[in-house]
Amino acid sequence: MHKDLLRLALGERAVRRHLALCLAAAVLAGLLVLAQAEILAGVLSGHLAISALVPLAAVVAVRAALGLVQGEAAGRTGTGVKSALRHRLLSRLRETGPARSGRRSGELVTLAGRGLDALDPYLTGYLPAAAVAAVVPIAVLARLFAADLASAAIVLVTLPLIPVFGALVGMHTKAVTERQWRALARLGGHFLDVVRGLPTLRAFGRARYQAEVIRRVADAHRAATMRTLRVAFLSSLVLELAASLSLALVAVPVGLRLLSGSLELPVALLVLLLAPEAYLPLRTMGNRFHAAMEGVAAADDAFSLLDGEAEDPARQDGSAPGARTTARPGPDGHAPPMSPSASPPTRPPSAGRRAGAAPEIRLENVTVRYPGRREAALEDVSLMIAPGERVALVGESGAGKSTLLHLLLGFVTPASGRVLIDGAELAGDDSWRGRLAFVPQRPHLFAASVADNIRLGSPAATADQVRAAAEAAHADGFVAALPGGYETVLGERGADLSAGQRQRIALARAFCRPSACLLLLDEPTARLDGRSESAIVAATRDLTAGRTAVIVAHRPAMIDLADRVIRMSGGRVVPAAVMSEGGR
């Protein structure tokens, strides 16, 4: 029995009432087997008239009605327990925040959804079966002792074999089921992390690799599920075999004694009808146990969060809250999700050398429309950015600035017009992303080490190159102060870092990609304090030197870095003359 679940069920008044009704109906239906066996044995032996079949039908009808009551009450019990546990879990996460739980958001979503839904087999199947197994075998044994002492003794000796074998297999089942649940939680956590960071992965050319990682994680979950099913089938085989052999030990002597005349027919029939009912509840409980193990593993996980056992492990050694010092395995069970050891071979970057010169960018009458929207995000935009030129895009929200960046990233395609890079049309050229670096307004940091987050776009970068990129982005100071330095595993979406620190890690990614000849920056200083803004502006000035740069900016410090300012409004570029008049 899961003590925490029972305590939760008994603590909720409505749930307690439904649980009591469910268990009572299950036990009463099991006890009615005694009356059913008595009547049927009497009718078959001729000691009772055929009219006795009427009460037999009534017993069967009552058992069926009790089964319906049990099912309805069990369903309400399961719904109530899951609702109460979800409410407590979400309340706990609201108080502490998901980041302090030490879990990814995807893992928490999997736990609160699929995980707690898996409690149904435990609440609606295992608990009633356990109540029946605790009462009915004892009642059957008592009746068998009153009817035939020899048969009752055989049942008494063989009956413990089923729970003994069930416990032996059950210990192994618990281990493999916990591994299956961890694989499922890891799959959910990593999948959500990848989906959230998909624009970043695509911009740095890592989306295909992450698809392979997800495939490996899914295969690991599939293998864990198959191991669990094999153990469950083995358990059923063991329980059925033990019950069949035990019944044979009862039935063979009864048949021989019946032939010799030492046992009366009514007693023999009663023993043969009741003996299976002594073993059946234990077999049912064993089968329901295996079906309920995934839910039990999820409940253990949920109660560990409620009890605070899953708080940030770094706090246990006295370090700052939120900092994690131990590198944890990635979603494939071996390496962090962006580990260079698992990445395809890539030419390592070298400081001061770039693959290709700064490009010329030309937009010719480009119009972009998003599905389901009447207004164009960009309308008839023509623009030329010279090689090595730094351009600042300014304008109100919704003016089309971010759409223009996504156009250059290849995330959207124009409905009309062309985008030319050094005279070649951009459409359909995925290799183009290898020549650019992207720093979004809200950079996505993955649940991996600081070093792996920095080398996202250059998987083969060495530790020295990662450190040099962090120094150039003014990030080395706070990274070195982390408990694990560059090997510190970040919380999901960089939850352990401030906004300015996350932005500097994103800039370090761009510095770690010296082959990038085009820089796209989407308001990198938004929502930052003055100190962080100064560091970002200084790092951006160094980063854009000698490169073509398109910067979406609002703050004057970032706009001052540009060689030219382009104002956008309503999806169009505002002509320079209009800008001058507006300035007057």
Read off the pLDDT of each residue in 280-292 and give the average, rounded to a whole number: 80
Rounded to 5 degrees, φ, ψ at 448 are -145, 180
Q: What is the pLDDT of residue 502?
A: 83
Mean pLDDT over 272-284 rounds to: 88
Residue 230, token pair as written in the block: 């094999």
Q: What is the mean pLDDT of residues 524-550?
A: 77
The residue-averaged pLDDT of 23-40 equals: 90
Tell me the average pLDDT across 355-375.
80
What value does the mean pLDDT take over residues 179-183?
Answer: 71
Looking at residue 308, its pLDDT comes to: 66
User: For the domain with range 361-583, which CATH number is right: 3.40.309.10, 3.40.50.300, 1.10.510.10, 3.40.50.720?
Assistant: 3.40.50.300
Dump pLDDT digits (tens) for 467-478.
888 888 888 888
Position 483 confidence tier, pLDDT thresholds 50, 70, 90? confident
pLDDT at 318 over 60: no
* pLDDT for the residue numbered 28: 92
Bridge-partner residues for 437, per DSSP?
519
Q: Is residue 419 pLDDT above 80, yes or no?
A: yes
Residue 475 DSSP SS3: coil
Going across the sheet that includes 548-552, the strands are: 436-439, 518-522, 548-552, 390-394, 564-569, 572-573
Q: For residue 61, what pLDDT is reported?
A: 94
Residue with tokens 């059925």: 240
Tell me the average pLDDT across 1-14.
76
How far is 497 from 493, CA to CA, in rounded Å? 9
Picking from 118, 16, 98, 29, the residue whose alpha carbon sits closest to that of residue 70 is 29
pLDDT of residue 58: 93
The model carries a pTM of 0.53
> Which residue's structure tokens are 């010279």?
386
What's the mean pLDDT in 258-270? 87
Q: Where is pLDDT greater, at 136 or 522?
A: 136
Question: Is residue 142 very low, low, confident or very high in pLDDT (cuts 50, 70, 90)?
Answer: very high
User: How large is the average pLDDT for residues 104-125?
Assistant: 76
Tokens of 176: 């493999």
DSSP string, 341-398: GGSPP-PPP-TT--SSPPPPEEEEEEEE--TT-SS-SEEEEEEEE-TT-EEEEE-STT
Q: Who wins on pLDDT, 197 or 393?
A: 393
pLDDT by residue (tens digit) across 86-102? 888 877 777 665 555 55
Q: Supply the pLDDT for residue 66.
A: 92
Residue 407 CA to residue 255 CA, distance in Å, equals 85
- On the question of pLDDT at 62 being above 50, the answer is yes
Task: Give, rounded to a whole angstrom, the gap between the first and last alpha carbons of the chain.
Answer: 79
The predicted structure's pLDDT at residue 139: 92
Phi-psi category of residue 423: left, alpha or beta, with phi > 0 → left and psi -120 to 50 → alpha: left
Architecture of the domain defined by 3-310: Up-down Bundle (1.20)
The average pLDDT across 3-16 equals 78
Q: Which tens digits make up the pLDDT trace of 64-88?
A: 999 999 989 988 888 888 888 888 8
Q: Give mean pLDDT, residues 189-210.
A: 66
Positive/negative CA dihedral, 486, 488, 490, 496: negative
**Which pLDDT does position 326 carry in this prediction?**
38
Q: Which of 174, 131, 105 is nearest to 31 (CA)?
A: 131
Q: Which pLDDT score is estimated for 108?
A: 73
Residue 578 is predicted with a pLDDT of 43
- Looking at residue 330, its pLDDT comes to 42
pLDDT category at 337 given cuts 50, 70, 90 is very low
Return the higher-pLDDT residue of 283 and 182. Answer: 283
Question: Mean pLDDT across the chain, nearest whole number?
Answer: 76
pLDDT score for 206:
65
Position with higher pLDDT, 276 vs 344: 276
Structure tokens at 219: 């295969």
CB 161 within 8 A of CB 241: no
According to the per-residue pLDDT averaged within each range, which of 42-46, 273-277, 310-314 is highest? Answer: 273-277
pLDDT of residue 493: 66
pLDDT band at 435 (very low <50, low <70, confident <90, very high): confident
Domains 3-310 and 361-583 share a fold: no
pLDDT over 70 percentage in the chain: 78
Q: Out of 52-61, 139-148, 406-415, which region has the weakest mean confidence (pLDDT)?
A: 406-415
| Mean per-residue pLDDT, 496-518 | 80
465 pLDDT more than 50: yes
Contact 284, 128 (CB under 8 A): no
Question: What are the boundaries of each domain within the chain?
Answer: 3-310, 361-583
Tell me, what's the pLDDT at 57? 92
